[in-house]
Structure formats: C-alpha cells, structure tokens
Amino acid sequence: MAVDSLGKRMKTMFVFTVDVESRAHGDPRSDILGILPDYEERYGIEKIMSMLEAYQVRGTFFLNVYEAAKHGEVAVAGAARLIHSRGHDLELHSHPQPMYPHYGMCHAPLVNQIAILNKGISLLESWTGKTVLAHRAGAFAANVDTLRACESVGLLADCSLSPGSLVSVPLVHELGVSNLVRRIGKVWEIPVTYYHQLRVGRWHSKRILDIEGSSLPEIKRVTRWALRQSLPTVCVLMHSFSLSRHGKPNRRVIRRLSALLTWLHKCDGIEIGTIEQACHRLDQNAIPKVISGEPSTGLLLTWGRALLAWNDGWRNRLVAMTGMTGLAVLTLVLVYLCLTLLKH
Ligand SMILES: [Zn+2]
C-alpha cells in the first residue's frame, strides 16, 4: 500500500465515473432519467445514485451541459440539481457541438477550449452553486491544450485520458498510455483505467474498464492488480443510460453493478470515492514512480465475457464462437490421443 507524505497508508480509490448525456437520437427523459415505456421504475441517474447510496458511497457524474441548447435548459439543469442535491460529485462533461462549431475539445484552439469550459462551469454553478473541479472531454477528445484550458479556468482535475477506448485521440499520444494519475501543470490527470484483454507476444488488445463492456471477473482482476501496484485510483466508466438497453432495463448490468459494489465494500485496501475526494487526497509523494506492466485479463475471461454478452453484437458472437471452436478442436484432439494410446 502506498504511503503519503505524512506516513499515512493510502487506500486505492475506486471511482464510479458516470457520463451524463443524451445519445445522438435520444433525449434526457430516456437517456439521463431512464424513463422507459412500460416501466414505472426509472433506470437512469437516480437508480445509479440509489445503488451507490445503498453502500453509503457517492459517484462522480460528468454532465454534458452543452446539450441544453438542444434539449432545453430545464431538462439539463434538472439533472444537475438532482445529482448535486443527493450529495454526489457533479462535474463537467464536454460535447460542445450544440453550442459551438467543434465536435470535440481537441478540435478547438486553446482560446476556444477555455471559452467552452468557462461556459460549462458557469452553467453548472448557476444551476446548483457547486464549485466545479473536474472535466471529462466528450468522446475523450482531449489534447494537452485541454489540460492547459483546465488549468487556466482553475479546474483541479481532468479525466479524459482513456488509453483503452477504441477512438484514437491526441491526449493518449501526447501523454502516453498509463493507468497512473499524473500531475500536468496544476491539473491532476486521472485516467480511465484500461487493461489488456488479450496478449500474444508484443501484440495486445486494450480495453476500457466499463461497467457495460467489462465482466465482473475482469473488473475484479484489474482492481486486484491496481491494489498490488498501490495505484491511487481505479476509474470505471459508466453512462447515465448504462442500466437500460433498447428501451428495457439492462438486468445484467444492474446485477453486475450490485455485485461489484458488494465486493468492493468488503475489499481491504479499497475505498469507493469521487473525483472531488481524489483531488483533495492525491499526494504527489504517494504516487508510485513506476508500475510493473499492465493489468491483463486473458483468454478465458475474454471468452467468458463474450459468452455472457452473446446478444450484444457480432464481435461478442465471433469471440464466443472462436472459443467454442477452439474448445471443440481441443476435445477432439484429446479424444483422438486417448483412443490412439488405448489401441497400443
Ligand atoms: Zn460523452
């Protein structure tokens, strides 16, 4: 376990980070509040907050305030107040396009990035009175100018570094791939945790730690690795719409979140916290200088996850079928070898 400058043992902080936003063809009622046709219960941010509160913990909710220009200020401000009033950590998520001509932060020059952040912060603060401390770029589309912009507007943290996401973004190339918190100027860069799902020689396939895309055994394995490495933070990605799918509750993800919370609650050396809490506790002296390797989940866990997610797209079906074919071939080879040995 890492030790801070006062000699205190530091726990690894596990942070549930939730991007609160509407999808391209969605709206805040379904994608943020989780109001589904035919269901009385809501499966959006309120349910996520309730599940965290059942363990007396809070999450960090990055709210895309810019969609107020598309869906109206009432809906987005309402979500902000809901999050803040329940004591969760309300922070800024930037998909600037409804208000600015830039798809992502990294597509805007520094001066415009500063203007975008100032606008977002002033909206959040005017709706709730909350002092905004952190930012996550939409689609992780950040670059080092984004960190300069964060510093310029007085933010303490940025959570846009996501080495495991499929999209290629400048920040990952500029800062390098890492699961370790870093201080860039006056801003903490707190990465979204990633892992290697498969490794063959020097080739590897990276994956983001995501409540929808990672299985419980994968999340546990990565968290145990982080504990062994004394990592200050583990960040899992969620969305306001993570608990529903195609207009129905996503029971599998709900069960996974519940089981993860139960496991983390009992896990020695782990503390569930928020980005705001991390900002106040991070200590440069307690951060490991180097970590050995990367977390790896391997063939069996990847196959297991694909089998569980059979209905969630062709990639999962391909991985599941490849695994089954491999297992069938292995069984046939073993049977053949046994029969050959028996004959002799
Ligand atoms: Zn987003």
Q: What is the pLDDT of residues 14-47, one digit of tens each?
A: 999 999 999 999 999 999 999 999 999 999 999 9
Helices (H) and strands (E) in the chain, counts: 12, 13
The verdict on residue 75 lying in a domain is yes
- Domain housing 61: 12-298
Cα(8) to centroid(ligand 1), Å: 36
The verdict on residue 220 lying in a domain is yes
| CATH code: domain of residue 127 | 3.20.20.370
How large is the average pLDDT for residues 129-157?
Answer: 98
Instruction: Give this prediction's pTM.
Output: 0.88
pLDDT at 311: 72
Cα(129) to centroid(ligand 1), Å: 23
The verdict on residue 311 lying in a domain is no
The verdict on residue 111 lying in a domain is yes
Cα(319) to centroid(ligand 1), Å: 27
The verdict on residue 314 lying in a domain is no
Cα(24) to centroid(ligand 1), Å: 10
Residues 63-101 pLDDT 10s:
999 999 999 999 999 999 999 999 999 999 999 999 999
How large is the average pLDDT for residues 295-312?
Answer: 75
Cα(138) to centroid(ligand 1), Å: 4
Could you tell me if 162 and 191 are in contact, meaning their C-beta atoms sit under 8 angstroms apart? yes
Q: Which of 244, 298, 60 is nearest to 158 (CA)?
A: 60
The verdict on residue 315 lying in a domain is no
pLDDT at 202: 73
279 Cα distance to chain centroid: 17
Residues 244-297 pLDDT 10s:
999 999 999 999 999 999 999 999 999 999 999 999 998 777 777 777 778 887
For 166-175, 215-224, 301-310, which range has the lowest pLDDT when averaged over its residues?
A: 301-310
Please determine, for residue 53, whether its predicted confidence score (pLDDT) is greater than 90.
yes
Could you tell me if 121 and 91 are in contact, meaning their C-beta atoms sit under 8 angstroms apart? no
pLDDT at 8: 59
How large is the average pLDDT for residues 228-240?
Answer: 96
Cα(196) to centroid(ligand 1), Å: 23
Cα(180) to centroid(ligand 1), Å: 22
Task: Quote the number of domains for the chain.
Answer: 1
Residues 144-181 pLDDT 10s:
999 999 999 999 999 999 998 888 889 999 999 999 99
Q: Which of 211, 183, 206, 179 is nearest to 195 (CA)?
A: 206
Residues with C-beta atoms within 5 A of ion ligand 1:
19, 21, 138
